Structure 1
Amino acid sequence: MLPFAQEKRRKINLGGATSVASQTDILHSAKARRSEREENRRRHESALCIQSRWRSFQQFRVVKRILAEMFQEDVLGLNGMRALVLIGNNDQLLAQWSESVIRAGDGWSLQYVSGSDMEHWLVLVRQMVVLLLISVANSPRAPASLNHLQILDKFLSPTSNAQALGACAEDLRINISNYLLRRRLYPLLAKALGNIPVDEKGSPSIPLLVPLLTHPLRTFGPSHSDSFLEAYTSLFQHILTLPLIPNRFPLTSLTQFSANLPLAAAFVLSPSISRLISVLGVEERVNLLANIAAFAPPRYTTLPSTSLTTLLNLLAAVMRSLPTGVLGPNPSAAAGKQVAESESDSDSEDPAHISPANRVPLPRLDERTLKRLQTLPTPTHINSLIHATQSHTMSRIALCDFLFALCIVWPLRSDSVLSTAVVSTSGGFVRELYRGYVRSSPLGKEVGLITLLDPANADTWLPLLFLTDLYTHSLLTMGDDEFFSGLDAPARANAPRNPLSLDEIISLSRKLLNISFTLFWREGQIGVQSGVVPGLNVKWESVTRKVTRFLQAVHARDSRRPFTPPGHWLVNEHIDIASFAEAAIVEEQQFVRPDGVRSFSRRTIADLSPRLGVLNNIPFAIPFEARVNIFRAFIRNDKHSIGADTRSFFRRTRTTVRRGHVAEDGFDKLADADLKHPIEITFIDQFGEKEMGIDGGGVFKEFFTDLSKEVFDSDRGLWLVNKKNELYPNHGSYATQPHSLNWYRFIGRILGKALYESILVDVAFAGFFLAKWLGRQSFLDDLASLDPDLYQGLIFLKHYPGNPEELSLNFTIVDEEFGVTRTIDLKPNGSNVPVTRDNKLEYILRVSHYRLTKQIKEQSTAFFEGLSDMIDPKWLRMFNQQELQVLLGGVNTPIDLNDLQKNTNYGGLYDDKEPTILAFWRVVEGFDSEQRRALLRFVTSVGRPPLLGFSGLVPKFCIRDGGEDENRLPSSSTCVNLLKLPRYKSERVLRQKLLQAIYSGAGFDLS
């Protein structure tokens, strides 16, 4: 009887009794009865299923017992093998069978191979070896596994059965190997190896397991290409992705595996690299890198070019697929360890590539794996690759792919990688890439996004981007004499030369300018920046940064010593400059937060505004005059936003300053003042009395002129001058004291006020210091202006033909102050790190960085904090160092007399037709360039004309009647750009008196 036969039957009312119930109650009752019936049906079916399974299990036990008895009756016979195959995984019986096979020797196989039961035996033996393999994978350290492994070796080894079986041996081996490949040979071998702890390399199973890894590869030859590819791919996918392969094998087995690993056939992986990587996890990819790094390098020079190319492409593809930081610290977390500090915006923190794995938590890697990976970016490894790929074109491009990916995934080692590539090839790699691949590339020949996104150009991006990185890095340690080699005179034998000619640099920079402008100027091209470069897993924003760094470095050389044709850097033909300027001014206003703060990175600005992206990254693409007008418009907008343009009576700062104590009083009273609003200065004379007059701007200019003379005096201890009389912060300990840093902060605010009010300053700053205003770093080429002797010494070291270790240098530098010297490490434990051929460029970079940046870091930071209070940093980034100096102090060009005369006002009895005025202009016309500068300095305090001409001089140049006394010298009021000129009747006297005044120091006249 069924278990539920006694269940309660359904009740049916036959009595006709009526009941009062609602329709809802009836429906609920019907639903409940229906559910009850369904549950009873399910329970009934489940009971039937359980009973069926139980009967099957009972019957299986009976059948299994019968099969076991059959096996015991004929262990090595066909019936016994059939029984064991049907039984399946039974460790005890498998152990008995394998032990019997071992005892029987080769004769057991031979009797079946040469007999009529060959086909039946082969079918059974293939299934038996699968069972043995599974047993080994589950319990590799079990005693029976040793016999199992010997039998597997007997059937898979190219030499085991060759003598006993003769001609049949190869066919048998190929048949069984193919069968095992289709039944997860390599995943099961990987499982077996993984089940043996790494440190148990003395396990007796390992010497028997290791040969099985390469037997199929030795079995399958060119005639079995599909099987060979399957085995080869499986070896890379399952075995070489195991952690610490070299640490798992004893020395003998490791040597055997390395010798039988057919890296020369790596070319077969070429079509399947992407598929291979896609099925691997992050940790497996890292292990694959580490294991290839262990086995491949000693054999680079013996590999065919096709296989070396494939290995390099595989390594590169694996590295590009890894998350940022998996091989070392995240670049943003370790930015302080960089040789050159990153720019002070968030761009430097962005990963240079994208990968789905970036969203995966980083695995904890074994220290031994990390140590093995650290060999990849070493100079020794890179040099071996450079040597191995020297005569193979495709391998050379693959090397670019490898080095480029290495710089991306390991950004803290990129400097070392690029330096090694530059030094090892003496610049030849740069020439090879440009002339062999980049020169004929269609990329950048014209402005347009279609060419950049065209998949047909995918192969041209890699050499272009790596060349960009390589040459930009080489510029860091390239002096101007090397950059301009051969320009002034024929090059000497063995003299250092620029790897590219100036004509090639001109052509390359124009290509890259077109690419950069296209990427910034992408209004309406939503999604471009979130995509990747065709053929590379690299973001467009990374391309933009690389190209921009190159252009900025080359443009800096061109600014210092022009070599490009006129208009080379401009994109006027692609945009309307006037419309560009108007739109940029409007867009900039959108970046002002409600609190008035502008705090956006270059990347954010470029994403939101293509015009501001151009102005902040490649400003030289826009004419200088247009950028100056945009700069001044930004300031006008800022004044309007804070109400400073109304010259509010209540918002101005009023203060008194004592004559002779201008700097001291200015610092005490204006250090924390709101300098964006008007400043009203009242001078206190030597008698303690206030000087009469109202400050309408002129008195403040006088105050500013006097203040500049005091604070920039090098005798005060805050500033030093180079041989060109250019200022830079003092690097002594006094300059880093809190009080001195407050002075730098104050001076920065005052100079910001000068830029804010378009007041010219008669002071010149060193270029490397101005670079810090722009958030840029200075390198070897700037060191010549600071320390010519040190510069020449580093140039000598760079091109030293012998072994640099002969010079007994290490990574330290000596600092001297007040006769006391101290040795400073340029890197951790630098005193114990010798300068060698491989690291000499790093040494040059670190020395330059220390002298130009690190020594004055605190002073520069304080100065820039003050400057940023007045001027938005992104406004300054519209200019380079030379242009910034012009913005501060005017144009270092001859004075245009016609422009000055047209923009001169007259006062008193003078007008432009008065005889004395006519004589004045004739006299000035006869002045030489230096005399004209002296006159301009006498009247305005600055000897250079305004950058946009005298129409921009505020207030205008003015000449006023100075009386009839011809014995009196001309005088000036520099605060209002006023020349007080007596009414000389003789032109000769006018010339004599004017020259005497401008050179004798006669100046400000209170009358």
Structure 2
Amino acid sequence: MKEGVSVLRLLFYANLLSSQRDSLEVIETERKNYEKMENELVKRRQRYNDDASDNDEQHENERKSPTSESTSEPSTPSAATTTTTTTTTKRKSINEVDEIESPYENLLQIKLGLKPNEYRHGQHQFDIFVNEYANEKIDIRKEYLNFIQQPTSSIQFSFIFYPFFLSTINKIALLNIESKARMYLQRRSIFVHNIFSSIRLNPFFKIHVRRNHLIEDALISLEYQGIEHPDELKKQFFVEFEGEQGHDEGGLSKEFFQLITEQIFSPEYGMFMTNEETRCLWFNPSAAEDLDREYTLIGMLLGLAIYNSIILDIKFPPVLYRKLMGKIGTFEDLETSHPTIYRSLKSLLTFNEENEGMTIEDAFGLTFQVAIADAMGSRLLFDLKENGEIIPVTNVNREEFVRLYSDLLLNKSIEKQFDPFFHGFLLVTHDSSLRKLFRPDEIELLVAGSQVLDFNQLASAAAYDGGYTKDSPTIKNFWSILMTFTDEQKRKFLRFTTGSDRAPIGGLVRLKLIISRNGPDADRLPTAHTCFNALLLPDYSSIEKLQEKLSIAIDNAAGFGLR
């Protein structure tokens, strides 16, 4: 096996080397951007600690002052906690982390200077190097345990050394095992600490929020932990809603993510806008200046969702996930993010003046001043070059125009919005294997799930409750109806029952739908608890009635279909 996979690795490298690598200019820009991100991250932590130190000094002076009041207002949770830490140590830069020996890189790859994510695609698709049958036989948990229990130099063979060969499902399993192993080690060290110390530490990352102040409470909890104690974010995530009973076994966390993404992506915040052609979200270039914390929160939510295996009901274009991997947006990315603009620029690049009998200036009438629409439909003017309004686009400079225009759309015009968003994401994922293991398209699957919907898989994994079995007449009618649904109806059904219209990695077989009998035949509609993937289905007397009630329910479900 080792010899075969090693040969396959050589072919994988050859596949990369025979394709087009990102330009050196782009790679250098990305390197500088990463350094900038890391420096900003450290500065933000320093500012936070400086503020905390100032508050501590003020409180200490007030305490020593003979005229101070004997009682004072209780301090906020963040202020109370920050009194224990008033200095910060600079973390290793991302580039330094990359240079640490990694099981996902080998000496030949390092010698060749190969970084797979510097190649948008290979000569052949990356998936041809993944053997699905072999991947089904791999015990990733066993591979990982064997790997961590002995020195790297003594390991004869491990699939962990060949990430290109691993399926996305196994990569996710490996990331989750790494995460759980880290959580276990943290819980064990905290347990030992709690035995010998009077200061109790929490082995979990738990936040307490009020439903009517969801974003405000999440900002306070996540921002503090992300800046002051980023390791807390690697712990298992739990949510408590104020005034509500119940232990979070996954359902409350999922509901928290659903509710907060619904609120923060709503038009009233003005942080994002929707492309009418792709229905994808994109940053609003004229968003308010004071939304830095909210963008950071969203980035952290994406990272936390990955670590806690929660699919978010959001749709970003693929370029967003490239940017989260440290890449910058280029002209090729416009095809999926801004299709109309891409087609226009493509026609500009392929325009032949001789064949068309006219110049580019006459045909297009463009200058190096362009307009970008914001969330309100207003047009924002930008000069791609100094005095751009008087520089015409010609046959000579059209490639420069396309490059600068693409850079403006995907990078420069949204820099103030994307930077804190990226900071938040890095706060959670900074020291993980995410960038070593995954391609940008796989990160999209981690966050938002797959668009491939196989309802036969959904049926095979379904569970039944309240008196229903797979042989109940209503259940048989139910699946008979669902199998006739169009793709659009299937997406509506999934959104109604799970809060997302996409499948998790590995398909719908990994989404355990619970169908519970909700009383005898009645005129009421089916309802759903999206946080538990549960459908409450009355025992309708006929297949016609079941189809009518189910169609009404999924067509009129508001928001995330929560009931």
TM range (shorter): 0.5 to 0.7
8 Å Cα contact 1:644/1:677 also seen in 2: no
Q: Which residue of 1 aligns with 2:525?
A: 969
**For residue 554 of structure 1, what is the aligned residue in structure 2?**
121
> Match for residue 778 of structure 1?
329
Q: Distance in 2 between matches of 1:935 and 1:645?
A: 44
Determine if the alignment matches structure 1 residue 740 to structure 2 residue 275: no
Counterpart of 1:937 in structure 2 is 495
| Letter matched to residue 479 of structure 2 | W
Shift, 1:764, TM fit: 0.9
Q: Which amino acid aligns with 1:850?
A: L
Residue 185 of structure 2 is aligned with which of 638, 641, 650?
641
2:112 to 541, 562, 571: 541
- 1:743, distance to aligned residue in structure 2 (A): 0.5
* Aligned residue identity for 1:719: F
Give the 3-state SS of the residue equivalent to 1:989 in structure 2: helix
Report the CA distance shift for 1:571/1:958 in structure 2 as closer, same or farther (over 3 A).
closer
Change in Cα spacing, 1:951 to 1:876, as seen in structure 2 (3 Å) is farther
Q: Which residue of 2 aligns with 1:917?
A: 475
Deviation at 1:468, TM superposition (A): 5.6
Number of the residue aligned with 2:545: 989
2-structure distance, mates of 1:698, 1:885: 22
1:729 aligns with 2:278: no
Q: For the Cα contact (< 8 Å) 1:585–1:630, is it kept in 2?
A: no
8 Å contact 1:939–1:979 — kept in the other structure? Answer: yes
- The question of 1:887 aligning with 2:446 is answered yes
AA of the residue aligned to 2:284: N
In 2, the alpha carbon distance for the partners of 1:720 and 1:635 equals 33
Shift of 1:717: 0.9
Query: In structure 2, how many angstroms separate the alpha carbons of the residues matched to 1:612 and 1:566?
Result: 17
Q: More relative contact order in 1 or in 2 (CA 8 Å, sep 6+)? A: 2
In structure 2, C-alpha distance between the alignment counterparts of 1:821 and 1:925, rounded to whole Å: 47
Q: Deviations over 1:382-432 (max 9, x none)?
A: xxxxxxxxxxxxxxxxxxxxxxxxxxxxxxxxxxxxxxxxxxxxxxxxxxx
Question: Amino acid of the residue matched to residue 112 of structure 2?
Answer: E
Q: Which amino acid aligns with 1:999?
A: D
Match of 2:63 in 1: none
Give the Cα–Cα distance (whole angstroms) in 2 for the partners of residues 529 and 823 of structure 1: 42
Distance 1:633 1:831, change over 3 A: same
Q: Distance in 2 between matches of 1:997 and 1:671?
A: 38
Q: Deviation of residue 580 (structure 1)?
A: 8.2
User: Where do residues 427-506 of structure 1 align in structure 2 (5 Å cutoff)?
Assistant: none
Match of 1:299? none
Amino acid at match of 2:183: K
Aligned-pair distance for 1:449? 7.5
**1:578 and 2:122 matched:** no
Determine the structure 1 residue equivalent to 2:211.
Answer: 658
Shift of 1:747: 1.0
Hey, what's the Cα distance between the residues in 2 that align with 1:885 and 1:778? 16
Q: In the alignment, which residue of structure 1 is the partner of 2:224?
A: 672
Question: Quick one: which amino acid aligns to residue 973 of structure 1?
Answer: H
Alignment-mate amino acid for residue 549 of structure 2? K
Deviation at 1:971, TM superposition (A): 1.2
Q: TM-score, normalised by structure 1?
A: 0.39
Q: Which amino acid aligns with 2:453?
A: P
* 1:161-240 superposed matches below 5 A: none
By how many angstroms is 1:570 displaced? Answer: 3.8
Decide whether aligned partners of structure 1 residues 718 and 915 sit closer, same or farther in structure 2, where only a CA change above 3 A counts: same
Amino acid of the structure 2 residue aligned with 1:961:
R
- Residues 876/906 of structure 1: CA separation in 2 closer, same or farther (3 Å cut): farther
Corresponding residue for residue 949 of structure 1: 507
Q: Is the 8 A contact 1:585 1:634 kept in 2?
A: no
Listed as ranges, the matches of 1:322-337 within 5 Å are: none
- SS of aligned partner of 2:528: strand
CA contact (8 A) 1:754 1:760 kept: yes
Matching residue's letter, 1:923: I
Extract unaligned runs of 5+ from structure 2.
1-6, 27-102, 152-156, 192-200, 226-231, 354-358
Return the alpha-carbon distance in structure 2 between the equivalents of residues 928 and 944 of structure 1.
15
Equivalence for 2:300: 749
Q: How does 1:315-714 map to 2 (within 5 A)?
A: 540-542=111-113, 544=114, 548=116, 552-555=119-122, 568-570=128-130, 578=138, 615=163, 619=164, 621-643=165-187, 651-659=204-212, 661-673=213-225, 674-675=232-233, 676-682=235-241, 690-714=243-267
Q: Does 1:848 align with 2:406?
A: yes
Aligned equivalents of 2:501, 2:126: Cα separation in 1: 27
Residue 82 of structure 2 corresponds to none
CA distance in structure 2 between the aligned counterparts of 1:822 and 1:920, rounded to whole angstroms: 54
Secondary structure of the 2:467 match is coil
SS in 2 for 1:554: coil
Residue type at the aligned position of 1:992: E
For residues 642 and 791 of structure 1, do their structure 2 counterparts lie closer, same or farther at Cα, with a shift above 3 Å needed? same
Distance 1:644 1:972, change over 3 A: farther
Q: Say if 1:610 and 1:823 are closer, same or farther in 2 by CA, change over 3 A.
A: farther
Measured after TM superposition, the shift of residue 587 of structure 1 is 5.8
SS, match of residue 983 in structure 1: coil
1:894 maps to a residue whose letter is L
Distance in 2 separating the partners of 1:754 and 1:644: 24
For residues 172 and 400 of structure 2, the distance between their equivalents in structure 1, rounded to whole angstroms, comes to 38
1:951 positional shift: 4.8
For 1:829 and 1:612, how far apart are their aligned partners in 2? Answer: 54
**SS of equivalent residue, structure 2 residue 128:** coil
**Residues 794/935 of structure 1: CA separation in 2 closer, same or farther (3 Å cut):** closer
2:238 & 2:402 partners in 1: Cα distance? 47
Distance 2:519 2:342 in 1: 57
CA distance in 2, matches of 1:579, 1:758: 19
State the Cα distance separating 1:927 from its structure 2 match: 3.3
Instruction: Name the SS for the 1:931 alignment partner.
Output: helix
Q: 1:986 to 1:839 in 2, by over 3 A?
A: closer
Q: Residue 867 in 1 paired to residue 425 in 2?
A: yes
Query: How many Å separate the matches in 1 of 2:132 and 2:514?
Result: 37
Instruction: Give the C-alpha shift of residue 638 in structure 1.
Output: 2.8
**Cα 1:473–1:951 shift into 2, 3 Å:** same
User: Aligned equivalents of 1:663 and 1:995: distance in 2?
Assistant: 33
Which of the residues 896, 900, 920 maps onto 2:455? 896
**Deviation, structure 1 residue 880:** 3.3
User: Residue type of the partner of 2:383?
Assistant: I
Q: CA deviation at 1:939?
A: 1.5
Larger radius of gyration: 1
- CA contact 2:252–2:531 (8 Å) conserved in 1: yes
RMSD, aligned α-carbons: 4.4
